[in-house]
Chains A and B, each alone.
Chain A
């Protein structure tokens, strides 16, 4: 079945780095745009980053631009988020989500999320 599984979360000190991964299965990964969305404890959803189906276009929320890098490996059906210079306010549950590659398509499949805690 169609599935997204995130991994790589954990506890990290401020200023350090962490790399999240999202393994896709059950669909043609290379045909879909992919997103990272995060949710701080007890808070709402915040879009983090978008990568086009072929990796040629990338967009970031202002809160992470210059610190986070989204990438994908279509040969391995994997999405990644490299997070550098982490801050306490980056503490959140990070979801990956897919979207059809046309216009402003909705996020139709979500993973269960991986938790990132930034704390000294």
Chain B
């Protein structure tokens, strides 16, 4: 089955740029979605189809996808961005949705 690999944690100072990666075999040929989950809350979609931002999501959130790595980039990080972030793809070979293991973003 398809595997998505994320770093367990990423730390960044306020105002800096956070980059969270999601690695998968030829992931660049798939559409990647990203979710933010704050403690005690349901996940929220922050980037869809590699780089689209849903309504209400700040422009500071952006995404890219190429080769074997997809990346969620959060510019001008704020304390309120501290959360777990998950990448997701549809695996057509198994008809399964797959989530990455999640990355905990810590704002220093």
Contact of A106 among B48, B84, B92 (CB under 8 A): B48
Interface hit among B19-27, B66-74, B75-83, B97-105: B97-105
Q: How far is the CA of A106 from the CA of B89 in the complex (A)?
A: 9
**Given A44-B86, A45-B43, A59-B95, A108 contacting B102 (CB threshold 8 A):** no
Q: Are B31 and A47 in contact (CB under 8 A)?
A: no
Contacts of B31 in A (CB 8 A): 103-104
Complex Cα spacing A37 to B44, Å: 13
B99 x A47 contact (CB < 8 A) = yes
Q: Is B12 an interface residue (CB 8 A)?
A: no
Q: How far is the CA of A114 from the CA of B98 in the complex (A)?
A: 21
Task: Decide if B90 touches A107 in the complex (CB within 8 Å).
Answer: no
CB of B107 within 8 Å of the partner chain: no
Contact surface of A with B, Cβ cutoff 8 Å: 35, 37, 44-47, 50, 59, 61-62, 95, 97, 103-108, 110-113
Given contacts A37-B43, A47-B99, A59-B95, 20 further A-B contacts (CB under 8 A): A44-B86, A44-B99, A44-B102, A45-B35, A45-B37, A45-B43, A45-B86, A45-B99, A45-B102, A47-B97, A50-B97, A95-B43, A103-B31, A103-B90, A104-B31, A104-B89, A105-B48, A106-B49, A108-B48, A111-B42
B interface list, Cβ under 8 A from A:
1, 30-31, 33, 35, 37, 42-45, 48-49, 54, 84, 86, 88-90, 92, 95-102
